[in-house]
Structure 1
Amino acid sequence: MRKDALLDAAEAVLFEQGTQALTLSAVADRAGVSKGGLLYHFPTKEALVTALVARVIGEFDELIDSFDDGSPAGYSQAYVHATFAILTGEARAHRRWSAITAAATDPELAAPLNEAMARWHGRAREGDPDPLTGAVVRLAAEGLWEVVSHAPDLYGADQLEALRRRLLELLER
Structure 2
Amino acid sequence: MRERILDAVEEMLVSRGADAIRLDAVAAQAGVSKGGLLHHFRSKQALLEGVLARQVGRFQAELPPPGSPPGAFTRAWLEATIPDTDVPARAHADQVAVAMLAALSGGPEVLAVFRRRYEDWQERLADDGLDASTAYLVRLAVDGWWMARLLDLAPPRDDLHREIRERLGAMIEDGGR
Higher helix share: 1
Q: Tell me which residue corresponds to 1:56.
A: 55
Q: Tell me which residue corresponds to 2:4.
A: 5
Q: State TM-score, norm by structure 2.
A: 0.81
How far residue 85 of structure 1 moved from its aligned partner, in angstroms, is 4.2
- Equivalent-residue separation in structure 2 for 1:42 and 1:158 (angstroms): 43
Q: State TM-score, norm by structure 1.
A: 0.83
Describe the SS at the equivalent of 2:42: coil
Q: Is the 8 Å Cα contact of residues 56 and 99 (structure 1) preserved in structure 2?
A: no
CA change 1:151–1:48 in 2 (3 A) is same
What code does the residue aligned with 1:101 have?
A: L
Number of matched residues?
A: 168
* Unpaired stretches in structure 2, ≥5 consecutive residues: none
Describe the SS at the equivalent of 2:82: helix
1:107-139 deviations in Å (ceiling 9; x for gaps): 12222111011111232226x241111110111
- Equivalent-residue separation in structure 2 for 1:116 and 1:110 (angstroms): 10
How far residue 157 of structure 1 moved from its aligned partner, in angstroms, is 4.6
Describe the SS at the equivalent of 1:146: helix
What are the equivalent positions in structure 2 for 1:55-94 lying under 5 Å apart? Answer: 55-65=54-64, 70-85=68-83, 91-92=93-94, 93-94=96-97
Q: Tell me which residue corresponds to 1:118.
A: 119
1:72-114 deviations in Å (ceiling 9; x for gaps): 22111111111124985863243123212322x2x12222111
How far residue 153 of structure 1 moved from its aligned partner, in angstroms, is 8.7
- Equivalent-residue separation in structure 1 for 2:164 and 2:102 (angstroms): 25
How far residue 37 of structure 1 moved from its aligned partner, in angstroms, is 1.6
Q: Is the 8 Å Cα contact of residues 5 and 37 (structure 2) preserved in structure 1?
A: yes
* Unpaired stretches in structure 1, ≥5 consecutive residues: none
How far residue 164 of structure 1 moved from its aligned partner, in angstroms, is 1.6
Q: Tell me which residue corresponds to 2:35.
A: 36
After superposing on structure 2, the runs of 4+ consecutive aligned residues of structure 1 that deviate more than 3 Å are 85-90, 152-159
Please state if 1:143 is matched with 2:144: yes
Which stretch of structure 1 is more off in the superposition, 163-172 or 83-92? 83-92
Describe the SS at the equivalent of 1:65: coil
- Equivalent-residue separation in structure 2 for 1:76 and 1:15 (angstroms): 27
Describe the SS at the equivalent of 1:64: coil
Q: Is the 8 Å Cα contact of residues 73 and 125 (structure 1) preserved in structure 2?
A: no
Q: Tell me which residue corresponds to 2:18.
A: 19
Residue identity (%) = 33
